Every structure is written in structure tokens, then in C-alpha cells.
Amino acid sequence: MKITIVDYGAGNVPSVERALQRLGADSQRTTSPECVSNAEALLLPGVGHIAALVRALDEQNLRAPLIDAIHRGVPFLGICLGLQVLYESSEEAPQLNGLHLLPGKVSALPSNVKLPHMGWNQVAVKLESRLLQGIPKDAYFYFAHSYAARDSNEAAVATCTHGAEFAAILEQQNIYAVQFHPEKSGAPGARVLQNFLRLAA
């Protein structure tokens, strides 16, 4: 099984690739609609401004094949912005359309806490999580973001709190997404990726 990484130019693509390599996984980067359509498993990393991600998906005609593949049941893992883009829209770029795969909007974290929410934080497990299998409950993950999915959503199997509670891990059928960066979260992060590889196999 090969993981197809949607490479829209995000800075963390090489880190994700290295993390997958360390787990012995086969991966390829792509910017082509055909490759997305034919993918066995998809990974959408992201860091920075969500407008860059949404625009790249549209300019490279990746939106439709991506949504189509996910609807067909292709295992999908979204990281950081790759989680946020699953919703209808984000306050960071309200004029742009998300992928509408999950209901609700992404909003800014409250301004009474230090932003960005950056560093190592723990998650509160709400429902049994497939991505968290084998990971201690008190594990820390690396977060770096100012916007988050704060609407309650049944896909959110784990949440994190920084000023407000938000979705840290989403799992809904073949859709998996994490707000933290598993590729930068040491051993627990590697285990999250490994769990995804196993689920996607």
C-alpha cells in the first residue's frame, strides 16, 4: 500500500515523508488530480494559512477528486490544516469554501490565551479512538495553530483545550484527522501514523 501525500506546497511535507519513511511506509507526493483519484490512501498535511491550502486545491483541480476519493472510502488522514479544511469554512479565510465533509466552521481560538497554541499538549479522549491505540492516555502531542474546530462534533473522538475545547482527533468511517502534528510529536506521533497505516492497509 502506498500513501499519496497531497503536496500543495506546505512546509511540513518533507517532515511527514521522513516520518513515514521511518515507519517503513511507501509514499509519493502528488499535485495531480489523477494521482489523487487513484490513491490507495491519502494524506493531506498542512501548516500556515488555510487560504493557501484551499486555493491550491482549487487551482490544481484537486478538490473534486479528493472529495470523490473520500466518499468512495479511500482512507484519508488530515493533519492540522488538513483537519480544518474538512469543515464548511474557516474564520481564517471566511470567503473560501472548505471541503464540506464535516458540518460546522473552524474558528479562532479565544484571544485571552497566548496564540498561536504552540507546544506540547495532552488530549482528552471522548470516544474509543483507533488512531490512539497503544498510546498512553497522558501522552503529549505537538500543536501549532491559532484556529480550531470548536463546534462539538460526534467525529471528534479526542479534544484538547487551549482557551476553549476543540477537536484534536477526528475519526469518521475512513476519515481520520488530527489537529496536532504527528510527524513532530516524537514516539506518540509516530504511533498515530503507524495506526493510520495499519487502518489503511
Partner 1 sequence: MSLAHRIIPCLDTDGDRVVKGVNFVGLRDAGDPVALAARYNAEGADELVVLDIAASRDRRPTFLETIRRVAAQLAIPLTAGGGIRTLEDARAVVRAGADKITVNTAAVERPELISELSREFGAQAVVLAIDAKRSGDHWDVMVRGGRESASRNAVAWAKGGVGCGAGEILLTSVDRDGTQSGFDVALTAAISKSVMPVNHSALPCKSSVHRTIAARVGAARKKLLIQPSRTADSGHKSETLKIRRARFNLLSHVPDSPVNNGGLSTSRKSERLNKKLPSTAEEQAKDK
Q: Which stretch binds partner 1 (CB under 8 A): 14-22, 32-40, 68-76, 100-108?
A: 14-22
Tally helices (H) and strands (E) across the chain.
6, 13
Report the C-alpha gap between 49 and 34 in whole angstroms: 26
- Paired with 4 in beta bridges are 28, 42
- What the block records as the C-alpha cell of 123 is 488530549
Please tell me whether residue 114 binds partner 1 under the rule CB under 8 A. Answer: yes
Binding residues for partner 1, how many (CB under 8 A)?
A: 39
183 is catalytic: yes
Report the C-alpha gap between 38 and 97 in whole angstroms: 24
Please tell me whether residue 51 binds partner 1 under the rule CB under 8 A. Answer: no
Q: What is the largest distance, in Å, between two alpha-carbon atoms of the chain?
A: 45
What's the closest the beta carbon of residue 157 comes to partner 1, in angstroms?
16
Selected catalytic residue, list 35, 80, 117, 171: 80
What's the closest the beta carbon of residue 39 comes to partner 1, in angstroms?
25
Please tell me whether residue 137 binds partner 1 under the rule CB under 8 A. Answer: no
Please tell me whether residue 64 binds partner 1 under the rule CB under 8 A. Answer: no
Q: Kindly list the residues in this chain that would bind partner 1 in the complex (CB under 8 A).
A: 11-12, 14-15, 18-19, 22, 47-49, 113-124, 138, 140, 142, 144-146, 160-162, 181, 183-187, 189-190
Q: Which residues have a catalytic role annotated? A: 80, 181, 183
